[in-house]
Amino acid sequence: MFKKILICFVVFTLMLSVLSCFDNSGSTKMPSPQKEDTKFDDKIIACLGDSITYTLAHGYTEYYPQAVERILGLYNSVNLGVAGSTVTNCTNRSPMCLRYTQIPNNADIITVMGGINDLYANIPLGTETDTDTSTFYGALNTIAKGIKDNYPKAYVVFCTVLPSVKYQDADDLNGANYSIVDMNNAIKTVATNHGFDVCDLYTLCGAFNEANYDTDGVHPTQAFLSSNLAPKLADFIKENYH
């Protein structure tokens, strides 16, 4: 008798389990997907940069700040890109060494991506200890110190400059006699000196390939931005955020 009761109980339990997979209409009910990572749900990213950050003039439907927001599941992104912006303050081109103060006080993550306009404008590279914002090193030091002093709780990432059709490697020198490799070494040095992480997009995104760039040979295509640049930056932030 006990065995019959036990068998009936097991059969009844199995029937309930099967029925639970259907809703009231009789359709199969799939379990709700669980979020892989929720630590970014309430986080805001602010992205300081030039037209590669801004990108409106190049017909993008998703800017890299938006793409990173989507990939990480961030609460919001703030696009502080300005077309033609330089890092240095030696031209009237919305220099980042002045604009970094526009970063919102509630930014949890800050990215700094710039330098290509300085390279093309033959801005002096300067030296590691420069504070003169008319040199690339000096402007970078100003930005790094300013962010460190004014946004002490933010996670900060400096990004290296992507190659372009004119400046691809150490052999391509500009009018000030330095290369994109020298510029990226300056970015790495200054960021490291101030305790910030560096996402080396120059290396991660690979060598210059004209198929991945707009006709100007400077701005990445939408496809390259969405499938390469943004995911690599998002992965870097996910792995190193603290």
Number of domains in the chain: 1
Asked, for residue 225, whether it belongs to a domain, the answer is yes
Asked, for residue 63, whether it belongs to a domain, the answer is yes
Q: How high is the pLDDT of residue 58?
A: 65
Q: How high is the pLDDT of residue 6?
A: 43
> C-alpha angle with apex 156: 72 to 54, nearest 5 degrees?
70
CATH number at residue 100: 3.40.50.1110
Q: How high is the pLDDT of residue 127?
A: 98
Asked, for residue 3, whether it belongs to a domain, the answer is no
Asked, for residue 82, whether it belongs to a domain, the answer is yes
Q: How high is the pLDDT of residue 14?
A: 44
Domain residue limits at 161: 44-240
User: What residue ranges of the chain have pLDDT lower than 50?
Assistant: 1-35
Q: How high is the pLDDT of residue 30?
A: 33
Asked, for residue 97, whether it belongs to a domain, the answer is yes
The whole-model pTM stands at: 0.84
Q: How high is the pLDDT of residue 198?
A: 98
Asked, for residue 48, whether it belongs to a domain, the answer is yes
Helices (H), 28-179: 51-54, 64-72, 96-99, 116-120, 136-150
pLDDT tens digits along 182-194? 999 999 999 999 9
Asked, for residue 220, whether it belongs to a domain, the answer is yes
Q: How high is the pLDDT of residue 61?
A: 84
Asked, for residue 31, whether it belongs to a domain, the answer is no
* Percent over 70 (pLDDT), the chain: 83
Give the long-range contacts of residues 95-101, CB within 8 A, separation 24 or more: 95/133, 95/139, 96/48, 96/49, 96/50, 96/139, 96/143, 97/133, 97/139, 97/140, 97/142, 97/143, 97/146, 98/133, 99/48, 100/48, 100/143, 100/146, 100/147, 101/146, 101/150
Q: How high is the pLDDT of residue 207?
A: 96
